[in-house]
């Protein structure tokens, strides 16, 4: 029998690359997509040790035409996606009034628009076959407003709300949707987003996880069909506290955690 196929966005490094490893170890062939090709080529060679074949499709999801172009390439190669992992995401740290407007647009495009569009384009075939899994990468930032990362936190709140809603819609379809919410994770995302030295990474409550650990937990939760997966014990406590605490209490705490001072 043909191996099932997983499509992973943001697969050039970090959580995305580790999710590709999890899928390959579990018997999937993979479609790797990101802007940078060379890291994906190295990953593809590594995945051969799991007897997985890897198709590399370069795509820039910052561009409005990126998601449709990626799906068009998938269809032209007659690749039937059994597992969609919407991992690509962008972040930025700083006061909103001083933020780069171009970066804001890119965050909204990748974190919300591209994720939504890819899910909409891939999902109908899964529903028709009455099988498939979708993973959406959100964040523990989904659970509260985030001063100094206002757009990023708001975009991840969208992902969580969107994921839970469509998971319910699909509850009797044979297709599952899992929203994975990592906390602080050791990846290059922090360097690019300017969050390496924020309080969240430095405080006594900090619990920075490896991308491999986050990928393993998220993948197992997706395989089990769970609707929401929060990675790590401390992250689960913080997310639960944010959900029930008044914003008057949450906002100054979040501001301190996102501050580099």
- Catalytic residue, from 28, 50, 152, 219: name it: 152
**In the structure encoding, which two tokens stand for residue 120, read together?**
């909409």
For residue 234, pLDDT over 60 is answered with: yes
Tell me the β-bridge partners of 30: 6, 54
**Residue 24 clears pLDDT 70, i.e. is over it:** yes
Q: What is the mean predicted confidence (pLDDT) over 185-213? A: 67
Is 152 catalytic? The answer is yes
Tens digit of pLDDT for each residue in 158-186? 999 999 999 999 999 999 999 999 998 88
Task: List Cα–Cα distances, 101 to 34, 88, 95, 96, 161, in angstroms.
Answer: 23, 20, 12, 9, 25
Whether residue 104 has pLDDT greater than 80: yes
- pTM across the whole model: 0.89
Q: Name the pLDDT band for 200 (thresholds 50, 70, 90).
A: low
Domain residue limits at 14: 5-258
Q: Which residues, including other chains, have CB under 8 Å from residue 122's CB and lie 6 or more apart?
A: 7, 71, 81, 84, 134
Specify the number of domains making up the chain. 1
Q: In what order do the strands lie in the sheet with 132-137?
A: 54-58, 29-34, 5-9, 83-86, 132-137, 175-181, 228-230
pLDDT tens per residue across span 30-49 = 999 999 999 999 999 999 99
Give the CATH number for residue 63.
3.40.50.720
């Amino acid at each position: 029998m043909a191996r099932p196929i997983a499509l992973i966005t943001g697969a050039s490094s970090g959580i995305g690359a580790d999710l590709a490893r999890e899928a390959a170890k579990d018997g999937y062939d993979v479609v790797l997509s990101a802007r940078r090709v060379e890291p994906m080529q190295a990953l593809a060679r590594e995945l051969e040790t799991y007897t997985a074949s890897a198709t590399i499709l370069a795509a820039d999801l910052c561009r409005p035409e990126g998601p449709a172009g990626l799906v068009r390439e998938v269809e032209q190669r007659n690749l039937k996606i059994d597992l969609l992992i919407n991992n690509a995401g962008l972040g930025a740290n700083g006061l909103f009034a001083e933020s780069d407007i171009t970066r804001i647009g890119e965050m909204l495009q990748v974190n919300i628009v591209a994720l939504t569009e890819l899910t909409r384009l891939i999902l109908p075939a899964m529903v028709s076959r009455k099988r498939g899994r979708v993973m959406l990468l959100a964040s523990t930032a989904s659970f509260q407003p985030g001063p100094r990362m206002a757009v990023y936190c708001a975009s991840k709140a969208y992902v969580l709300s969107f994921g839970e809603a469509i998971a319910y819609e699909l509850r009797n379809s044979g297709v599952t949707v899992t929203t994975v919410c990592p906390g602080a994770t050791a990846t290059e995302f922090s360097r690019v987003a300017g969050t390496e030295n924020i309080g969240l990474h430095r405080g006594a409550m900090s619990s920075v996880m490896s991308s491999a650990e986050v990928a393993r937990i998220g993948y197992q939760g997706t395989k089990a069909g769970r609707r929401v997966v929060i990675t790590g014990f401390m992250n689960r406590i913080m997310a639960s506290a944010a959900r029930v605490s008044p914003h008057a209490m949450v906002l100054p705490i979040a501001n301190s955690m996102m501050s580099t001072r």
